Structure 1
């Protein structure tokens, strides 16, 4: 099979490429299940010990961009093909134009800009291709990395849910973030000249 040409590929930018989740990606899912601190930040809980069978079953259910419970799972790869994590596009309510994005990156690949780069692709997809109007997120107040990421992307802090999460023996606050299409367009206007997708400028 001829090698794919990515020069005009929507699902990548200068740092990251998104591709459909594959059944064989189960091992990445399985291995990240051993990082309890990551699980607490992403899922607000301590999960039962991961199993290969559970990871394989989930991977089979969401492979090839199948939508499960309104969620579409993508694998995140570097431009060299290194699998660094997964990102989920979650359609909350199409009638109201609301959606969310969740991601999980293996610890050794965190802090390299992969998360924000992948988020930019799905924000562009949600706002410019799906006609959606608002992307919302709730973040644990101790998740400094996620808070910083959302602020960099132009999200506004819309509220605080006090002591709404119980974890590790105590209650924690959740920060509510929101990004509307109008805010999104404003946030990218300053960097539009550098964008690979100038058709949206």
Structure 2
């Protein structure tokens, strides 16, 4: 097989590359399912104890950009090929032009900008290729890293649903963020966009 040249590749930037999730990525899923704090912040609940079979089945189900879960899943890799996270894209409301993105970064790679870099790729795809109009994000209170990332991306806090999510023995607030295409266009560097 020929060596792949990535210099004009849409699905990467100076920090990460997105690729289709693969059935072989099940070990990453299995390992990260043991991070209960991250699972609670992302899914707003504590999952049952992980199993190898569950991770293999889930990885098979979401592999190869399959959309049979309603979401399209990507692996987030460094440019050297190390998997550092998973991100998914949900644009099931094309009529209204809204979409969601969710991600999980491995605990060993958090705070290094990988999540923000991956979000930038999917935001560009949604706004500039899919003609979508608004990103909608929903975060559990206490998700400090995701709140900071959303602000860095230019998202605005649009609301607070008080005591909307029950987890860890209490009702927690749900923080709503949004980013319109108009606001996105004010922030992006078109010289970098046109190079892709």
Q: Secondary structure at the match of 1:68?
A: coil
2:162 equivalent in structure 1: 162
1:60 equivalent in structure 2: 60
Q: Secondary structure at the match of 2:24?
A: helix
2:13 equivalent in structure 1: 13
Q: Secondary structure at the match of 1:26?
A: helix
Cα contact 2:158–2:176 (8 A) shared by 1: yes
Shift in Å, 1:104: 0.3
Cα-to-partner distance string for 1:74-115 (whole Å, 9 max, x where unaligned): 000000000011000111301111101000011000000000
Cα-to-partner distance string for 1:145-173 (whole Å, 9 max, x where unaligned): 10010011111111100000111111110
Measured on the aligned residues, the alpha-carbon RMSD in Å equals 1.2
The answer to whether 1:198 aligns with 2:194 is yes
Q: Secondary structure at the match of 1:67?
A: coil
4+ aligned runs moved over 3 Å, structure 1: none
Greater relative CO (CA pairs within 8 A, separation 6+): 2
Cα contact 2:62–2:69 (8 A) shared by 1: no
Q: Return the TM-score normalized by structure 2.
A: 0.97
**Equivalenced residues, count:** 196
2:36 equivalent in structure 1: 36
1:115 equivalent in structure 2: 115
CA distance in 2 between partners of 1:70 and 1:135 (Å): 16
Cα contact 2:8–2:195 (8 A) shared by 1: no
CA distance in 2 between partners of 1:89 and 1:119 (Å): 10
CA distance in 1 between partners of 2:166 and 2:145 (Å): 20
Consecutive unaligned residues of structure 2, counting only runs of 5 or more, are none
CA distance in 2 between partners of 1:48 and 1:125 (Å): 34
The answer to whether 1:87 aligns with 2:87 is yes
Shift in Å, 1:124: 0.3
Shift in Å, 1:199: 5.9
CA distance in 1 between partners of 2:125 and 2:118 (Å): 11
1:102 equivalent in structure 2: 102
Q: Secondary structure at the match of 1:139?
A: strand
CA distance in 2 between partners of 1:192 and 1:93 (Å): 27
2:153 equivalent in structure 1: 153
CA distance in 1 between partners of 2:12 and 2:102 (Å): 17
Q: Return the TM-score normalized by structure 1.
A: 0.95
